[in-house]
Structure 1
Amino acid sequence: MAEEKEVWRGTPSQVINLGSYILLGLFFWLVIPLFIMLWKWLQVKSMKYELTTQRLRIHHGVFNKEIDELELYRIRDYRLDQPFFLRMFSKSNIEMATSDRTHPQVTIRAVENAEEIRELLRKYVEECRTRKGVREFDVE
């Protein structure tokens, strides 16, 4: 069996909270919006993506930490999403359709160099499928 190696590690950008920060900043003199802003910042700060040659791991959670793992051979399709707002900051989302029952849709949110990451993902998905002998059949 091939050794699993880390290929990429990243975090989402705080830019995904910019709209909330601006809206909540209008009410900075209230205490509750400050706590909401802090909570949103902590949620994004605690999220990490880790791509290995065999799996995608998503670490998240502020107080209770969780790690979601997705075997790469389960990824069926990937899509690069570049909304105008994220493009202004050179960020993109990578959306994946999977055959995983617990996570049929997985998104890597607001990362730089998303095209390169998607190509890495594609490469290792194909390698993993070949190594495991996995084939996909579309039934309609």
Structure 2
Amino acid sequence: MDNIIWRGKPSQWLNFGYFVVCGLLFWLVVPIFVAWWRWLAIRNTRYELSTDRLFTYSGVLNTKIDELELYRVKDYSQESPFFLRLVGLSNVLLKTSDDSHPYVNIKAISDATSVRQLLRTNVEACRAKSKVREWSN
């Protein structure tokens, strides 16, 4: 069993633009459902980082679980778009050697610097434990 060392959810600030537009067009009724669906999609997304893997749970009606072995992470970066930076949020971007998920984006989380450092520490530990070395073509 993996030890979960971090859990997080993306912020509803990702939907700010949708909420504003839907609020302005609420009289059309359909935008209310669009805003509700966007809210549910973010509400039902969560990330869990264990000592060996990163799990991404998503989906409103159907649940999808993506699992990334940490030793497959090649590079990590952090981006703070202007609007997210205003509210203290950032994205953590991962470049991986996983064919099904070459890029993973942990969106709109608080304290992304600590999460990125946790990832880095555990990626190196997984590589040492599995005796895996990253190489490029």
Structure 2, unaligned runs of 5 or more: none
Distance in 2 between residues matched to 1:136 and 1:20, nearest whole Å: 40
Superposition misfits of 4+ residues, deviation over 2 angstroms: none
> What's the TM-score once normalised by structure 2's chain length?
0.98
- Structure 1 residues 69-107: Cα deviation after superposition (integer angstroms, max 9, x where no partner): 000000000010001100001000000000001000000
Partner of 1:46: 44
Distance in 1 between residues matched to 2:57 and 2:15, nearest whole Å: 18
Secondary structure at 1:106 match in 2: strand
Partner of 1:78: 76
- Structure 1 residues 95-124: Cα deviation after superposition (integer angstroms, max 9, x where no partner): 000000100000000000000000000000
Distance in 2 between residues matched to 1:19 and 1:96, nearest whole Å: 25
Q: 1:4: how far off? A: 2.2
Distance in 1 between residues matched to 2:85 and 2:134, nearest whole Å: 33
Distance in 1 between residues matched to 2:136 and 2:27, nearest whole Å: 56
Secondary structure at 1:29 match in 2: helix
Partner of 1:35: 33
Q: Which amino acid aligns with 1:37?
A: A
Count of aligned pairs between the two proteins: 137
Q: 1:128: how far off? A: 0.2
Distance in 2 between residues matched to 1:136 and 1:56, nearest whole Å: 18
Secondary structure at 2:21 match in 1: helix
Root-mean-square deviation (Å): 0.7
Secondary structure at 1:16 match in 2: helix
Match of 1:94 among 92, 95, 119: 92
Work out the percentage of aligned pairs sharing the same amino acid.
47
> What's the TM-score once normalised by structure 1's chain length?
0.96
Structure 1, unaligned runs of 5 or more: none
Alignment of 1:1-140 (within 5 A): 4-139=2-137
